[in-house]
Amino acid sequence: MRGDHKKQNERWKGIGAAFLSGQAVSILGSGLVQFAIIWFVTLRANSGTSMMIITLASFIPQLVVAPFAGVWADRHDRRWLIIMADSTIGLVTLALAVFFFLGYDHIWMIYIAAAVRSLGGGIQSPAIKALIPQITPKKELVRVNGIYSTIENVILLLSPVLGGALITLFPIWIVFMVDVVTAAIAVLIMIFMPIPHQRTGKVVTALGAEAKLPEGTVWGFPLLEELETGELTETEDVELPYEPVGKQFRMGFAYVRQHIVIRNLMLIYALFMVLLAPIATLLPLYIRRHFGGEAWQISATQTAIFAGMAVGGLIISLKGAFKSHLNTIRMSGFIVAAGTFALALLGLLRSPLFGFFVFLAFALGIVVPFYTTAVTTLFQEQVERAYHGRVFSLLYMIGSAAIPFGAILFGPLADIFPIAYLLIFTSVLQIVILLGSWRAFPKEFNE
């Protein structure tokens, strides 16, 4: 019996490791190309308008496609959505590399490529978040989400360094080709990786080949366990009628509205993210106004934040579980708000301590993955599997829109009021929202 349990654990871990490895190389390639795109537009155009266009091209398409992506992730095989999105991104990047190699390096090509890549990202993200609980035992969700967070944050930290090195040593089309190769690796892993089909529970590859284990062993996938124990029937999860996508998305929205825990958690998440906008978008300007604004200071602060986020994700992956996801959200939220308040106070000092400012930025970075991982895991556990795609597309839309919306809201105010005052204001509001969360959830709520 103990041997079977060991085989079960080894099997799902192997599949999970393959999935995370494929995503790691894919995210790395995307990070390098994103850096190369910004670098090219900055140097070639030297225009604020061009920077606005590339920002909109990288942001708007993923927001527009997200409602459709959520329905598709509940209606179709999530693995194939990830494969098709990665393949499309890879092919567009390959075309861009070929054109640049031949000397056709027009800036409008970059805009189109950025928009297509944004569309692919908008389709991928809800599918990935919905696929993780499909292949991960419930008790391991925190660990796997923590590892995924670590991968993203380490790559955020490394992309400028590696991207800058590649662009210095090679033509830009070589950087594009790196992304083509990493996308191909991720796609191949997804094609041959055996996972349970989200409707039938059969463990198959993307090509439909059924995978089997020696008799007496089990896969350890949560979907199979639910089928075997009768908690889920084969027809219960997930085939949506082919009604208009808009109608199906509205059903997902109605599902969120009807479930008080999910609704209130999403509302708190949205408000909290909007209030993070000043620290997320105005930090370089804040450093310039209060600390002198030398390039190394901005770089040091941003590096500290990303390094902290990578460390925080690593701690979560090693820890492996939270006693309470809701309490983790509250506690990490309070620490983020208090840290933001402390950063604001430093900016009001006559002789601000920049070294301590960087240390606080690093500490805040460590806390952020605790907040995001707890939010993601709580949704994965509380939302019915048939609605995972649509709910995570809503969450993705909130995460994608909250910071830009907050920037529109608080950006002009930064020209009227000191940024330190804005940070104090938003951090106090965050604390008020978190205090209100004790009234936002039923007393009988049990995670």
Give me the CATH number covering residue 370: 1.20.1250.20
48 and 123 assigned to the same domain: yes
221 and 261 assigned to the same domain: no
64 and 9 assigned to the same domain: yes
49 and 183 assigned to the same domain: yes
264 and 353 assigned to the same domain: yes
Q: Which of these three, 239, 270, 301, is where a domain ends?
A: 239
In a domain, 445, yes or no: no
In a domain, 144, yes or no: yes
In a domain, 303, yes or no: yes
pLDDT tens across 35-51, in order? 888 788 877 776 667 77
The pTM is what?
A: 0.78
**What are 164's two structure tokens?**
């800058």
198 and 251 assigned to the same domain: no
164 and 175 assigned to the same domain: yes
In a domain, 447, yes or no: no
366 and 230 assigned to the same domain: no
Q: How many angstroms separate the CA atoms of 74 and 87, rounded?
A: 20
Cβ–Cβ under 8 Å, residues 125 and 372: no
114 and 154 assigned to the same domain: yes
pLDDT tens across 329-379, in order? 999 999 999 999 998 888 777 666 788 888 999 999 999 999 989 998 888
In a domain, 446, yes or no: no
In a domain, 248, yes or no: yes
229 and 246 assigned to the same domain: no
Q: Which of these three, 239, 261, 293, is where a domain ends?
A: 239
Residue 84 belongs to what domain range? 1-239
Q: Which of these three, 217, 239, 261, is where a domain ends?
A: 239
In a domain, 151, yes or no: yes
87 and 215 assigned to the same domain: yes
- The tally of domains found in the chain comes to 2
303 and 211 assigned to the same domain: no
pLDDT tens across 381-404, in order? 888 877 888 888 888 888 878 777
User: pLDDT in tens for each of the 447 residues of the chain?
Assistant: 444 444 545 677 888 889 999 999 998 998 888 888 878 887 777 666 777 788 788 888 888 888 888 888 888 888 999 999 999 999 999 999 999 999 888 888 999 999 999 999 889 988 898 888 888 888 888 888 889 888 888 887 788 778 878 888 888 899 999 999 999 999 999 999 888 877 666 787 888 777 776 665 566 677 655 555 545 544 344 455 556 667 777 888 888 888 888 888 889 988 988 888 888 777 877 887 777 766 677 778 888 888 898 899 889 988 777 888 888 999 999 999 999 999 888 877 766 678 888 899 999 999 999 998 999 888 888 888 778 888 888 888 888 787 777 777 887 888 888 888 989 999 999 999 999 888 877 776 666
pLDDT tens across 283-301, in order? 877 887 777 766 677 778 8
In a domain, 56, yes or no: yes
